[in-house]
């Protein structure tokens, strides 16, 4: 009986964990599609800024400096996104609300603690159950479909970095687009970029 319990517990613990428990990935098709869309949008921004705005610019120093800044921030945004997506957000072990575990954790008789009815785990303070991850998450903020993961105690730093880098490359892209627009107004619009629409 004890052996079956341990097998069942190990099976529950490996949910959402891959590569020997080192990688966390939620098997939610909507979240995976949103994460791939996020990567596609970052790549599209790379293409537009590099090929449409920077390559045709006549000023070499302006072109190279902005190329390095934008590509570095885009790489950091992508790396932060992947790290947020593949990090355990602080999942509470499933099925740990047993008499043995309660005694191991040092709870005294009559002491109040909360038990999650959905995943049968002892809920720490500020832990909430996520219906997508099917786990209780410590210091859970929210489940974000764009990262296909919960934002919790262990990956909140990477999520904040991801949103910071995305905001930075968005502001930088707007600045570059406005400069490109002003440059194109001063010169022949057709010769401004290889991707300018042809006049009929």
**Residue count of the chain:** 200
CA distances from 102 to 3, 109, 135 (A): 19, 10, 19
Q: Strand, helix or coil at 135?
A: strand
Token pair listed for 152: 């919790």
Between CA 190 and CA 100 the distance in angstroms is 76
Indicate the burial class of 147 (C-beta count within 10 angstroms; 0-12, 13-18, 19 or more): buried
| 105-109 contacts at long range (C-beta below 8 A, 24 or more positions apart) | none
133 a catalytic residue = no
List of residues 6+ apart from 142 with CB closer than 8 A: 150, 151
The strand ranges marked E within 17-79 are 17-18, 23-24
Separation of alpha carbons 150 and 155, rounded Å = 8
Indicate which residue of 144, 150, 184, 192 is catalytic.
144
State the catalytic residues: 144
């Amino acid at each position: 009986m004890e052996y079956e319990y341990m097998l069942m517990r190990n099976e529950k613990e490996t949910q959402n964990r891959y590569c020997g428990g080192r990688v966390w990935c939620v098997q939610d098709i909507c979240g995976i599609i949103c994460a791939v869309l996020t990567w596609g949008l970052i790549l599209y921004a790379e293409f537009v800024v590099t090929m449409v705005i920077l390559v045709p610019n006549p000023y070499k120093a302006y072109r190279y400096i902005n190329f390095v800044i934008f590509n570095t921030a885009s790489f950091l945004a992508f790396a932060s996104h992947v790290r947020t997506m593949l990090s355990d957000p602080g999942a509470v072990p499933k099925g740990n609300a047993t008499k043995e575990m309660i005694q191991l954790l040092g709870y005294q008789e009559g002491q109040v603690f909360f038990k999650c009815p959905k995943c049968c785990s002892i809920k720490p303070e500020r832990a909430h159950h996520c219906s997508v991850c099917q786990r209780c998450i410590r210091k859970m903020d929210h489940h974000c479909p764009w990262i296909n993961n919960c934002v919790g105690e262990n990956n909140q730093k990477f999520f904040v970095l991801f949103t910071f880098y995305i905001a930075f490359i968005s502001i930088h892209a707007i600045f570059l687009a406005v400069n490109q627009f002003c440059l194109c107004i001063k010169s022949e619009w057709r010769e401004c970029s290889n991707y300018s629409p042809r006049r009929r």
